[in-house]
Amino acid sequence: MKYDLTDAPSTSPLACDQYIEQKKQASKESVTQRTFSIDYISSLITENKITSYESFQRILPTETKIQLLKQLGYVGQNIIKTLIKIHTIEALQTIKTKHYYQLIIDSFDLSLVQQPNVSLLSRLFSSNSISVDTFFAKFLIIHSTNITKINTLVIHGQTNTGKSLLLNLVLSDTKPTTIARERDKSNFHLDQLPNSTAVLFEEPIIDQTTIGTWKLLLEGSPIPTDMKHSDKEIINRLPVFISTNQPIWNWVSAEDVSPLKQRLFQFDLTTQISSFVDRTGIIPQPPSIITKHDLYALFLHHLQSIHDEYISLLASLPISETSKPYSNTHIDKLQQLQIQLLLQDSSDTISRAGEIEDV
């Protein structure tokens, strides 16, 4: 029996060399294409401030997503998710190194301040007999992990007292990891924290089975935690913020109450804010959506007294090795923002006075 070998690949040395070179060239082109795609995806993530695969799918045009699918195939999904994680962790680590003063300087937009909202926030503090200066000074201590053994700020209050509003505003640019009560019993409820800037617990339950871990967390000590499909990781010190409608020591033994209290600063909100559903609150419903810029404006109005109380606390308490320092440059830039804010306030006052005279 004879076979037709006309179309069989040649085994000559020249043919083999040509085949090898073709494979090398194809490999180089593949690497170049993939590198270009990765760089392009990275730029899309950065420019569009994408923080999850879901937001990637939602924000980007369909044509762009189809083109990426053609270039990378289904493996592209894993590449995109990995790049999003890399960029997100990098952004969080950058935030984590910044003092709160710098976060305000980077983010504050004077044009977005609504004076009625600033006044309402001021009333929120005064109605609850809370000093704006003391609140922010202690917040700065916790946010900057300045001192030893005290690593937590708690806002306690009933529904509609503004505790979530206040924490969400003051932590807007910190990007904390939020852990709700329903995750408390999860074996991996702390698995997001190794890369976090801070953690915000909503209505946590601290009981006798978890009190040991909570004591470490509230004082800022390192904690080993289980990770899904991975080895244990250490949660190094990060600021802890808690929003709760019940005292967090309600479920622990009497001897554990004092150790918990020694690890935190707590502010109690008792005055309710009116809403569409319940208009009986003493504080009126906000005239418009309150933003971080309104809170920053309140901060700037009290800048000097806040800073004075802050440095007074720093002088009276033991400084930790993890302390994030502020600089004179921070103060100078905040004072410049304060001057701009005061000038705008004066301009608005004159403008309103003119409108009244016209009437």
Could you tell me which residues are beta bridge partners of residue 156? 244, 268
d(CA 87, CA 152): 28
Q: What is the pLDDT of residues 158-177, one digit of tens each?
A: 999 999 999 999 999 999 99
Rg of the chain's alpha carbons, rounded to an integer? 28
pLDDT tens readout for residues 84-134: 999 999 999 999 999 999 999 999 999 999 999 999 999 999 999 999 999
User: What is the arithmetic mean of pLDDT over 151-159?
Assistant: 97
Provide the whole-model pTM.
0.84
Question: In terms of domains, do 289 and 278 share one?
Answer: yes
CB 296 within 8 A of CB 306: no
CA 98 – CA 332 distance, rounded (Å)? 16
Are 175 and 273 in a shared domain?
A: yes
Of all residues in the chain, the percent with pLDDT exceeding 70 is 84
The DSSP letter of residue 119 is H
Position 280 scores a pLDDT of: 78
- Same structural domain, 25 and 139: no
Domain span holding position 86: 17-94
Average pLDDT over every residue of 300-311: 98
pLDDT for position 2 = 55
DSSP per position, 57-86:
HHHS-HHHHHHHHHHHTTHHHHHHHHHHHH
Give the mean pLDDT of 27-40: 68
Token pair of 42, please? Answer: 């990275």
Domain boundary among 94, 125, 144: 94
Closest CA to 299 of 98, 95, 108: 108
Q: Are 157 and 304 within one domain?
A: yes
Token pair 């699918």 is found at 69
Could you tell me the end-to-end alpha-carbon distance of the chain, in angstroms, rounded to an integer?
112
In the listed set 77, 94, 111, which residue is the last one of a domain according to the structure?
Answer: 94
- Do 182 and 330 lie in one domain? The reply is yes
Q: Is residue 83 part of a domain?
A: yes
